[in-house]
Amino acid sequence: MEVIIISMKIKGTTRITGVFGYPVNHSLSPIFQNAAFDYLKLDYVYIPLEVKPENLKIAVESIKIFNWIGVNVTIPHKKEVIKYLDELDESSEILSVVNTIHNIDGKLKGYTTDGDGFIRSLKEDGKFNIKNKNVFIIGAGGSSYAICGALIKERVKSIFITNRTYENARKLKEHLKKKLNFKNIEIIEFEKRNDRKIWENIDLLINTTSVGMKENDPLLIEKINIEKVQFVYDIVYNRKTELLKSAEYLKISNLDGISMLVYQGAISFEIWTGKKAPVDIMKKAICEKIKK
């Protein structure tokens, strides 16, 4: 499908949205959100908004003052922003993070769409059903919290977590136990992640770390173990990682982070516009940008 970017016309009626971040100049969201608005001929515009941490409060107030439809929120504001909002959806309440704000008649509601974006990408692009599956996750940072929360909501059977820093994996396990009452979690020490017996029953392998973003990054899981899983998901999106190259070589179904990036943005788009997001158009816009 071809993306046709119609030159944007800002009018008196144009609804404004964007992304608050610091830095924000690396964000791909303006590219695919504006492509989606253009494609559906919606009178919306999405702009990058550099917000320093000390200006976050006033920036959030400006959403109401200027009657913007809402914004995305990215690093470093995802947690800090919560105290300035009027309401949170269930996932952002549980995970204490927000990446999307919707201005509903002057009340600001926070959402987190990363986890649901991950699940939607797994279902729609990966055709993979997560219910009752055993999952092995590398990483215990923000993305891992969002993904674990969403997997549990989708009734995954068990989660194995490995992380470079054991303490962070322990905190994630405790969090999931306390907030979601999910007990089927095992921490695998980072040095033991390739023990053969762990891999006997793993269905899905997910990398949530930044390992793979750089060209000489190592393959954290040995091929003999990757070979045993049904599906490999790597949230890195800037290049084809060693993990994904291995999955492809072994003919194992796989997805990269572009899919998650698009679906988390698609859910934000749907929250703001009430319309189904044109995910193929959004994907194409990102791929064209990344290839350049």
Q: Does 165 bind ligand ATR (CB under 6 A)?
A: yes
How far is Cα 177 from Cα 182, in angstroms, rounded to an integer? 5
The residue to which tokens 């990269």 are assigned: 256
Q: Does 97 bind ligand ATR (CB under 6 A)?
A: no
Q: Does 163 bind ligand ATR (CB under 6 A)?
A: yes
Stretch that binds ligand ATR, among 36-44, 84-92, 207-215, 244-252 (CB under 6 A): 207-215
Q: Is 96 left (phi over 0), alpha (psi -120 to 50) or beta?
A: left
How far is Cα 61 from Cα 282, in angstroms, rounded to an integer? 29
User: Which CB sits closer to ligand ATR, 164 or 178?
Assistant: 164
User: Which CB sits closer to ligand ATR, 168 or 253?
Assistant: 168
- Span 143-162, contacts to ligand ATR by CB under 6 A: 143-144
How far does CA 139 lie from the centroid of its chain? 14
Q: Does 99 bind ligand ATR (CB under 6 A)?
A: no
Q: Does 207 bind ligand ATR (CB under 6 A)?
A: no
- Residue type, position 208, single letter: T
**Please, which residues have CB within 8 angstroms of residue 116's CB and are 6 or more apart in sequence?**
91, 150, 263, 264, 267
How many CB atoms lie under 10 A from the CB of residue 118? 29
How far is Cα 169 from Cα 119, in angstroms, rounded to an integer? 21
Residue 78 bears catalytic tag: yes
Q: Does 74 bind ligand ATR (CB under 6 A)?
A: no
Minimum CB–partner distance for residue 111 and ligand ATR (Å): 17
Q: Does 236 bind ligand ATR (CB under 6 A)?
A: no
Among residues 194, 146, 140, 198, which one has the least CA distance to residue 167? 140
Number of chain positions touching ligand ATR (CB under 6 A)? 14
User: Which CB sits closer to ligand ATR, 48 or 142?
Assistant: 142
User: Which CB sits closer to ligand ATR, 37 or 233?
Assistant: 233
- Span 101-130, contacts to ligand ATR by CB under 6 A: none
Active-site residue, from 9, 52, 57, 78? 78
Ramachandran angles phi, psi of 234, nearest 5°:
-120, 120
Q: Does 76 bind ligand ATR (CB under 6 A)?
A: no
Kindly tell me which residue out of 208, 241, 259, 264 binds ligand ATR, with binding defined by CB under 6 A. 208
**Residue 275: helix, strand or coil by DSSP?**
coil
CA angle centred on 234, ends 161 and 198, rounded to 5°: 35
How many CB atoms lie under 10 A from the CB of residue 218? 9
Kindly tell me which residue out of 158, 168, 194, 201 binds ligand ATR, with binding defined by CB under 6 A. 168
Structure tokens at 11: 């009018």
User: Which CB sits closer to ligand ATR, 137 or 279?
Assistant: 137
Kindly tell me which residue out of 74, 92, 103, 209 binds ligand ATR, with binding defined by CB under 6 A. 209
Q: What residues act catalytically?
A: 78
Positions in the binding site for ligand ATR (CB under 6 A): 139-144, 163-165, 168, 208-211
